[in-house]
Amino acid sequence: MDRMRGKVAAITGGGGGIGAATVRRFLEEGAKVAFCDRDAEKGNAFERQLGSDDALFKPADVSRETEASHFIEDTVSHFGRIDVLVNNAAVRNYVDVTEASVESWDHVLGVNLKGFAFCAKAAILAMRRSGGGVIVNLASVRSLVAGPKCVQYDTTKAAILGLTRSMARDHAPDNVRVMAVGPGPIFTDFHENRAKDLGQTHNEYREAFGNDTMLNRPGTPMEVANAILFVASDEASFMTGTCVFVDGGQTGF
């Protein structure tokens, strides 16, 4: 299928995990895709791996408004327009509120919340000029269900639901739909590194990860990318201001 034929998407945090799977999925469906990542080496390597004239990598730290804006501007300059923004870039620390420093709060809020707003601001201004578009914000099951020592991450993901609703209401007159997608336990390269930090093997960590879902397994980045593609497509044209959870039923318990 060519559900994104003729459309241009900008994806943050596209160098790995869910972001990289989304880049691949949008390209498969005919989109031209710009993606950014703070890790320039990883992003450039992924761009070479893709080997497509329809894929463009730009290094950017979305917590800095100038870099977020430049990423969107570079997308429009290179491809001529922007139809879809996927706000995916995120960081997390494993601390409780008594352990969280001012610096770590600033860092997590900067990437996970302000970065979404900065990219959305630039994208909406561009979408107005071309007749509208779609913004997809990556929320999480942590928007609703607390995790141990995830106070900063959980706080920002809860805020993403409010940001999504507010932007959807404000910018419906601009023909801009705003949706959220909330992944549950999705096994990515982040969790490979997390397993090492906990002194566990890949299999040990993976067997335990996701066993509290109805499906008794973790999800894959591509399963989330498929949901992002759907809500960004014209098939979801009557959906805005809400969240689709891709969590194996975890939020249903």
pLDDT in tens, the chain (253 residues): 699 999 999 999 999 999 999 999 999 999 999 999 999 999 999 999 999 999 999 999 999 999 999 999 999 999 999 999 999 999 999 999 999 999 999 999 999 999 999 999 999 999 999 999 999 999 999 999 999 999 999 999 999 999 999 999 999 999 999 999 999 999 887 777 777 877 888 777 877 888 889 999 999 999 999 999 999 999 999 999 999 999 999 998 7
Extract the tokens encoding 218: 């973790």
CATH number of the domain that residue 67 is part of: 3.40.50.720
Q: Residue 197 and residue 194: Cα distance in Å, rounded?
A: 5
Q: Classify residue 62: in a domain, yes or no.
A: yes
The whole-number pLDDT of residue 192 equals 75
Give the structural domain span for 45. Answer: 8-184+219-248
- Would 113 be classed as within a structural domain? yes
Residue 53 lies in a domain: yes
**What pLDDT score does 189 carry?**
79
Any domain includes 207 = no
> Catalytic site residues?
153
Domain contains 115: yes
Q: Is residue 178 part of a domain?
A: yes
Contact 88, 54 (CB under 8 A): no
In a domain, 211, yes or no: no
Total domain count for the chain? 1
Residue 98 lies in a domain: yes
SS3 label, residue 186:
strand
